[in-house]
């Protein structure tokens, strides 16, 4: 059984033997010449000091947060490629917006200053990679994720949302327990399998309560949207410019709902459907991965010599048989202390579906697994969970995903209630759906509750919001983007015909040009624009 699926945008490179494997290469950009005007640009700290916080606060009690001054310092070491001119700071926000005089949180913020002249700078572009649970500072530091038009015109600003990254990360399990949780596999059609799911649901909730009691009720999407507005104001921007991916589209839509008058140019790429309940959302995503896997298998067969069969149906049967066998007999790996379980094998397959560039590595992993070794699929699963080579976790992504998801929607079904959806999951996804219904009880033991009832997402009063969907997206199926564009009163739908999760930076010039023209010049793309 698979316990969870995370939608995020990260770039990680590992080496397997002589082959470099790029896992989850979801967005990119042509950064040729990105350094060309670096020496000509105005120092970003000086520019922001001149502009200062905008000062407009929703209430007198929040004024100290909206008028705070940021103290920037160099953090060039953040750049993986050694390039830099990055600055970092801490943003202070209230732990509880209903009690602004109470405890506070410090959120980590990273800024890459615009390459262009100060008088041609549009403003700050806030970016979020998704999750929920993925920090945004690393995305802001990825210069190859943005086209020259954005790098010239915007300070790219990423922040680690509350409870993630360096911003008071929520903790629920030790690294060893997290290993066990992600590897846990049980037959959902047996009492033992159901009991295993319930055990981990309980352990997760109790762990969050024990290790992070102050955070469990205060890392919701609504609170993060309010943090975004504080950051916007303190950066000196009258209006919000935003580029959000995957779950980041949920966050952007919530921001537009709470702060429509500030929502000037928002791009929501890989959009979710905010109206789906837990059952509908789980079925939608599970079906999305099934579709993406079928598309992968078709490409594998078309290329010839596909190790799982000579047709899509044969490939499905082969891989389903492989996953079934892992339940009884996990595969050995080069690490004598770890095996490839059914859960890890499924996660490894799904991880590779995030980007078409990773399909050759999925083929290698499946061929290797059919030969009795699980290293490549385990590798993919590890990078999906941000597990590093030392055996630790580079971030709290998995725990934050659980906590934020359950705080946003605490809906939880009992095993008896969930069982009625077993056939629906099997029908939606013959490969990945078995046991999917057990995830419907995932939040049964989560201890936190939101302080306020979230508003219905409409973005009423906001400027046009560009919503992008990709027809073969596994994690946020295309139909969800269509629904998001319809739900938002000013939603404008743009479609990428293709595979993989998210569209901007995927190599589609039509998408990139539309996004950049909108963000830089305010040119709203035609509603219904399709880019093939």
Write out pLDDT tens, residues 407-455.
999 999 999 999 999 999 999 999 999 999 999 999 999 999 998 889 9
The phi and psi torsions of 524 (rounded to 5 degrees) equal -80, 125
Reported as a single tens digit per residue, the pLDDT across 354-380 is 999 999 999 999 999 999 999 999 999
Q: What is the mean pLDDT of the chain?
A: 89
* Residue 134 falls in the annotated catalytic set: no
509 carries an active-site annotation: no
Among 524, 531, 527, CA closest to 507: 531
pLDDT band at 84 (very low <50, low <70, confident <90, very high): low
Question: Residue 489 has what pLDDT?
Answer: 98
Residue with tokens 């199926």: 477
Domain boundaries, the chain: 60-161+232-275+453-530, 171-214+278-385+411-449
Residue 6 has pLDDT above 80, yes or no: no
Measured distance CA(20)–CA(358) in Å, rounded: 11
Is 137 in contact with 78 (CB distance < 8 Å)? yes
Given the DSSP bridges, would you call strands 465-472 and 73-74 parallel, antiparallel or unpaired?
unpaired
The answer to whether the beta carbons of residues 340 and 378 sit under 8 Å apart is yes
Residues 154-176, mean pLDDT to the nearest whole number: 97
**Strands 339-340 vs 331-332: parallel, antiparallel or unpaired:** antiparallel
Structure tokens at 177: 């327990």
- CATH, range 60-161+232-275+453-530: 3.40.50.1820
Q: How far apart are CA 156 and CA 110, in angstroms?
A: 8
Catalytic residue among 212, 220, 246, 282: 246
Separation CA 173–CA 176 (nearest Å)? 8
Cα dist. 502→26, 353, 477 in Å? 7, 12, 10
Question: Binning pLDDT at 50, 70 and 90, where does residue 63 land?
Answer: very high
Is the pLDDT at 458 greater than 80? The verdict is yes
Pairing outcome for strands 12-16 and 154-159:
unpaired
Q: What torsion, rounded to 10 degrees, do the Cα atoms 82, 86, 92, 98 define? A: -90
- pLDDT tens digit sequence for 242-275: 999 999 999 999 999 999 999 999 999 999 999 9
pTM score of the predicted model? 0.90
Which one is catalytic: 473, 490, 506, 512?
A: 473
pLDDT of residue 48: 42
- Selected catalytic residue, list 185, 408, 501, 506: 501
Known catalytic residue: 246? yes
pLDDT of residue 56: 81
Here the tokens at position 53 are 């916080």
Residue 173: band (very low, low, confident or very high) from pLDDT cuts 50, 70, 90: very high
Structure tokens at 37: 């005007």
pLDDT for 18-32, tens place per residue? 222 223 333 333 333
Residue 289 has pLDDT above 70, yes or no: yes
pLDDT at 51: 57
């Amino acid at each position: 059984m698979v316990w969870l699926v995370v939608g995020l945008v990260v770039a990680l490179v590992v080496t397997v033997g002589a082959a470099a494997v790029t896992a989850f290469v979801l967005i990119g950009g042509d950064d040729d010449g990105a350094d060309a005007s670096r020496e000509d640009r105005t120092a970003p700290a000086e520019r922001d000091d001149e502009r200062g916080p905008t000062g407009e606060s929703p209430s007198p009690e929040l004024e100290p947060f909206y008028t705070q001054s940021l103290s920037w310092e160099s953090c060039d070491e953040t750049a993986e490629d050694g390039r830099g001119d990055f600055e970092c700071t801490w943003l202070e926000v209230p732990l509880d917006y209903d009690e602004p005089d109470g405890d506070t949180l410090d959120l980590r913020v990273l800024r890459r200053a615009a390459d262009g002249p100060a008088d041609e700078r549009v403003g700050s572009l806030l970016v979020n990679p998704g999750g929920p649970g993925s920090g945004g500072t690393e995305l802001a530091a990825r210069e190859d994720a943005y086209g020259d038009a954005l790098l010239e015109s915007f300070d790219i600003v990423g922040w680690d949302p509350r409870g993630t990254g360096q911003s008071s990360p929520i903790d629920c399990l030790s690294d060893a327990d997290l290993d066990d949780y992600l590897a846990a596999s049980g037959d959902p059609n047996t009492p033992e399998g159901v009991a295993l799911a319930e055990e981990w649901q309980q352990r997760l909730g109790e762990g969050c309560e024990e290790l992070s009691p102050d955070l469990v009720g205060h890392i919701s999407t609504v609170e993060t949207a309010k943090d975004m507005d504080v950051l916007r104001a303190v950066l000196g921007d009258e209006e919000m410019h935003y580029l959000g991916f995957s779950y980041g589209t949920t966050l952007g839509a919530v921001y537009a709902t709470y702060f429509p008058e500030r929502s000037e140019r928002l791009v929501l790429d890989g959009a979710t459907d905010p109206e789906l309940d837990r059952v509908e959302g789980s079925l939608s995503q599970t079906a999305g991965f099934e579709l993406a896997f079928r598309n992968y298998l078709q490409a594998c067969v078309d290329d010839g010599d596909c190790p799982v069969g000579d047709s899509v149906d044969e490939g499905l049967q082969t891989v389903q048989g492989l996953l079934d066998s892992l339940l009884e007999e996990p595969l050995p790996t080069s690490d004598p202390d770890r095996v490839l379980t059914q859960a890890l094998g499924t996660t490894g397959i799904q991880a590779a579906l995030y980007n078409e560039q990773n399909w050759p590595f999925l083929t290698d992993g499946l061929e290797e697994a059919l030969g009795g070794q699980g290293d490549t699929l385990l590798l993919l699963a590890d990078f999906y969970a941000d597990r590093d080579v030392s055996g630790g976790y580079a971030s709290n992504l998995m725990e934050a995903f659980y906590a934020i998801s359950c705080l946003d929607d605490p809906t939880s079904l009992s095993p008896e209630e969930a069982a009625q959806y077993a056939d629906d999951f099997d029908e939606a996804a013959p490969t990945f759906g078995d046991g999917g219904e057990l995830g419907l009880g995932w939040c049964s033991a989560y201890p936190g509750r939101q302080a306020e009832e979230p508003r219905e997402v409409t973005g009423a009063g906001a400027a046009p919001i560009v919503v992008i969907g990709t027809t073969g997206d596994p994690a946020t199926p295309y139909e969800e983007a269509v629904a998001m564009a319809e739900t938002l009163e000013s939603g404008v739908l743009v479609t990428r015909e293709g595979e993989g999760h998210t569209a901007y930076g995927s190599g589609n010039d039509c998408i990139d040009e539309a996004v950049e023209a909108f963000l830089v010049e305010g040119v709203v793309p035609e509603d219904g624009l399709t880019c093939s």
